[in-house]
Structure 1
Amino acid sequence: MSTASPTPVSTSPLTYPDLFIGGEWIAPTTDARITVSSASTELPLGTVPAATEADVDRAVAAARRAFDDPQGWSQWEPSRRAAALDRFADELSARKSETAVRVSAQNGMPIRFSSAVEGTVPSTVLRYYADLVRADPGPENRTSQVFGSTEVQRNPVGVVGAIIPWNFPQTLAFFKLAPALAAGCTVVMKPSSETVLDAMVVAEAAIAAGLPSGVLNIVPGSGRVAGAHLVAHPDVDKIAFTGSTDAGRGIAETCGRLLKPVTLELGGKSAAIVLDDADLPSTLKSMFAVSLMNQGQSCYICTRILVSRPRYHEFVDGLTEMARSLTIGDPLDKSTIIGPVATARQREIVENYIAQGVAAGARITTGGGRPADFDRGHYVEPTVFADVDNSFTIAREEIFGPVLSVIPFDDEDDAVRIANDSNYGLGGTVWTTDLDRGRSVAARVDTGSIGVNCYTMDHGSPFGGVKDSGLGRELGPEGLLAYQQYKSVYLP
């Protein structure tokens, strides 16, 4: 493996004194603050106020007023909302370079990826939903099964609480914000405390785009107090959450008790199935993007690699060479492929899992430690485990780091059995030279999404998981429906 030369980070930390609530910057209720540090240098990047329960109350009240306004956002014609979303997208696009740098500095995502994803997806998704509601034909008239007719309306669900993780903070924020705003909902967003500086760019773009007061509010919180208060708030009508399965269970329990709709995009332990007829050179060339991108800190990626037994050793050798060749470095250096994991705590978790893999008898073919050339930063070498059984902890639990487990299988039935022998079901891939065979195997895998010889998240198609990977769907028209509720109006 190689290393990239360091790149200077910001010369002085950013300081935001106020919170974005009700369309303006307002003073927080306390002096408590969140300090964000660089994943690569461990130096401070900036500070923002830590929202209290009282601040969350103010944000929810602003969102409630904006939603209930009889001339407000929820009552606007869809085309008018769409035009506002297009302006919002334009303002985010104008700030995409700054957004990408802030994301990379905070969570360690290599700038080549944050520029392509975090800097561009928010505006792309906003424009997609703007176009979708602009073309909405409106209420559907149905012939009644009894008499007369029925007008079936789709109305905005209300005030939405959106809770965002640190791994793709911009992308996953706009998987929620874009359809919610397009539907006519108002939003209170709580970003992760590890990635709050990029959320401030969103606030600046919202102001520049002229979003009405209270339509979008941002309340950074430290720990789970602010998020828990947002989830249980009586004036919040729906929760949208991306994060760990454990946190999702707690949110689901609260929402269930309150009969509050919730969308949960949770963890994953997806399987890549490499069939015996797979073209190994092209498969290995594509394997990084579906397994190690963003240091393995992606919920849908394939961290279990299931390989046909006759091809197993050849594939392990190729995967080992691929992982070993990845350039580790400063996330702000364009040549970096592998940056640090987001936090010191996350590195500790990853290293714990690596130790468990060794103790269980799995064989490390590359990696397993910290790169020697870095005396600071939360770096972990890309690590490949061979001789893994699907019962091992490293094959059962989400590691959220650059650690892969390679598991042999005997035939297609065995591969599907192993793939489905998991508490999770979010992503997955099948690799073969026979597309029909690949589609047939993919159809048998119990998961919310799966690719054949590729994996790419399509903004126009639903994304979400089964089992412990979540409830509901984001993206596509289905993502818009998640922020609408049906009303039947019976007519004579």
Structure 2
Amino acid sequence: MSDHSKFYIAGKWVDPEKAEQIEVINPATEEVCSRISAGSGNDVNRAVAAAKTAFATYSQTSRAERLDLLQCILAEYLKRFDDMAKAVTMEMGAPVSFARRAQVPSGTIHIKAGIETLKAFKFEEDRGSTRVAKEPIGVCGLITPWNWPICQIVLKVVPALASGCTMVLKPSEESPLSAYIWTEIMHTAGVPPGVFNMINGTGPVVGAAIASHPGIDMVSFTGSTRAGVEVARNAAATVKRVTQELGGKSPNIILEGADLESAVRAGVRSVMLNSGQSCDAPTRMLVPAKKIAEAIKIAKDAAEAIAVGDPNGNATIGPVVNKTQWERIQHLIATGIREGAALVTGGIGLPIGLTRGFYVKPTVFANVTNDMTIAREEVFGPVLSILSYENVEEAVEIANDTEYGLAACISGSDLHEIRTLAKKLRAGQISINGSGGDPFAPFGGYKLSGNGREVGDYGFHEYLETKTILGYTPEQVAR
């Protein structure tokens, strides 16, 4: 069992103020795999002080200097690829194949995208005699989740570094091992002392201290909507910028002209991916009423083909992250049955053959109506709800009838129809016919799915202040 009790502050590994520790549980075995320290408000104070000191110098670095630093980070990240994959598998149960194919490569992709974005980013522009400048906002508090642990760290740290900011990172206490490797990467890559600081702890203590700290100028948070509300509430008194990427209950509209077999199978895979622990998972599948029986059969076959088991073996999906999450998913599945949804496959309890670990059966519900709990609450597990609609107008109404608005999917054959439909959906990202991610496109949500955007140049803007300098070019005034 490893020990990860130290914090990283001002370029050094340091002891926390208190000896209190948090056990890190391997969700596949239910055994303790490491221990981390539970940080305090004073630990946050130390990290913020280091970041503020470093900001005076780092904020004045050139584009070329920041590009060199990011290139060094990329090189070190690639060297630690295998270590990172093992850590992600151990801390949150991602199958080895998925950790190596998706979880860890997502970090590589976004580091590279950050480098390319920085090369072309306009920090200054002239409008007549006025200069508009984009300057680093200051010390940033970064609070990241456990479901895509290294991806979410990279999505915040890279634009902060590229923009000239310094930072304090609090990774999830459920998945801190990958954050330790990332911190070692930052140190080896030569990130100046105090520019990057890392503290572990709980949301109610360390997260709240970061959000409310007067020395922190902005907070970037990814996690549940409930926790995001608390971050915003704690940040309000200091009027700092808060960006939030929160929950989702994304619709997947399969149109009349779509290849039903392909669309349904792809939809099932998207929901089950990462054991259903993705905020943009298309968990509400909307199917034309006259095709519903066929869609249910396809979904059943697709879900039952998904192998659940040991993440170090050949499983397609592993466990969910912890016991609390497992119990919540079981409760929601039971609620779906009680409220009258038809259980197509899966259900409550552990999958056959598994006696320990937080594994969930790939579950499909049919005859779901949009007022049911499983259609309204984010399950965050491998659970799909299939709903029917009579016409496209009703599909739009159902899709938008949610407090969330992170993502949506549309499948069909008529591109004009799809594009028209996409304009009507209240969601931050629309995927057409299975289109994959774009590392330069903005990602974020409407409504209770958050505010602000990550990825590409839109992500950079969140870490920058806008300064207007009047009369910057007086010769234009004379002309």
Q: TM-score, normalised by structure 1?
A: 0.94
What secondary structure, in the 3-state scheme, does the structure 1 residue paired with 2:283 have?
Answer: strand
CA distance in 2, matches of 1:382, 1:138: 47
Match of 2:58 among 54, 67, 73: 73
Give yes or no for the alignment of 1:401 onto 2:381: yes
2:83 aligned residue (92, 98, 105) = 98
- Are 2:397 and 1:417 aligned? yes
Tell me the number of residue pairs that the alignment of Structure 1 and Structure 2 aligns. 471
The residue type equivalent to 1:447 in the other structure is: A
CA contact (8 A) 2:52 2:166 kept: yes
Task: Please state if 1:352 is matched with 2:305.
Answer: no
Q: Distance in 2 between matches of 1:138 and 1:464?
A: 23
| Pairing 1:179–2:159 present | yes
Question: Which amino acid is the alignment partner of residue 96 of structure 2?
Answer: I
1:194 aligns with 2:168: no
5+ long unaligned stretches in structure 1: 1-12, 144-148
Whether the aligned pair in 2 keeps the contact of 1:117 and 1:171 (CA below 8 Å) is no
**Whole-angstrom distance in 1 between the partners of 2:204 and 2:234:** 14
Residue aligning to 1:361: 340
Change (3 A) 1:89 1:115: same
Residue 126 (structure 1) aligns with:
111
TM norm structure 2: 0.96
Q: Which residue of 1 aligns with 2:430?
A: 450
**Whole-angstrom CA distance in 2 between matches of 1:136 and 1:475:** 13
Q: Does the C-alpha gap of structure 1 residues 459 and 314 become closer, same or farther in structure 2, counting only changes over 3 Å?
A: same
Q: 1:268 aligns with which of 230, 235, 248?
A: 248
Q: Distance in 1 between matches of 2:429 and 2:123?
A: 30
Letter in 2 for 1:382: P
The code of the aligned residue for 2:99 comes to: S
CA change 1:322–1:51 in 2 (3 A) is same
Deviation at 1:107, TM superposition (A): 1.1
Point out where structure 2 has 5 or more consecutive residues left out of the alignment.
475-479
Query: 2: distance between equivalents of 1:196 and 1:387?
Result: 40
Give RMSD over aligned pairs. 1.2
Q: Relative to structure 1, is the Cα distance of residues 137 and 300 closer, same or farther in structure 2, using a 3 angstrom cutoff?
A: closer
Shift of 1:132: 2.0
Q: Which of 432-441 and 236-245 deviates more?
A: 432-441
Pick which of 454-463 and 413-422 moved more.
Answer: 454-463
Alignment of 1:255 with 2:222, yes or no, is no
Return the offset for 1:382: 0.6
Contact 1:161 1:238 in 2 (8 A): yes
1:88–1:123 CA contact under 8 A, matched in 2: no
Moved more, 156-165 or 24-33: 24-33
Q: Could you say what secondary structure the match of 1:239 adopts?
A: strand
Aligned residue for 2:28?
A: 40
The answer to whether the Cα contact below 8 Å between 2:429 and 2:443 also exists between their aligned partners in 1 is yes
Aligned-pair identity in percent equals 39
Q: Which residue identity does 1:77 align to in structure 2?
A: S
Letter in 2 for 1:56: V
Q: 1:228 aligns with which of 208, 216, 223?
A: 208
Stretches of 4+ aligned residues off by more than 3 angstroms: none
Change (3 A) 1:17 1:353: closer
Q: Determine if contact 2:265/2:299 at 8 Å carries over to the other structure.
A: no
SS at match of 2:132: strand
Task: Write the letter of the residue equivalent to 1:341.
Answer: V
After the TM superposition, which residues 420-431 of structure 1 pair with which residues of structure 2 at under 5 Å, given as runs? Answer: 420-431=400-411
Letter in 2 for 1:80: E
1:460 aligns with 2:453: no
- In structure 1, give the amino acid aligned to 2:263: T
SS at match of 1:48: strand
SS in 1 for 2:30: coil
Do residues 475 (structure 1) and 455 (structure 2) align?
yes
Query: Which residue type is aligned with residue 58 of structure 1?
Result: R
8 Å Cα contact 2:253/2:411 also seen in 1: yes
1:285, distance to aligned residue in structure 2 (A):
3.5
Deviations 1:114-166 (A, max 9, x none): 212321222321222222223335421221xxxxx111110000000000011
Maintained 8 Å contact 2:255/2:287: yes
Contact 1:63 1:214 in 2 (8 A): yes
Q: Counterpart in 1 of 2:477?
A: none
Which amino acid is 2:72 matched to? R
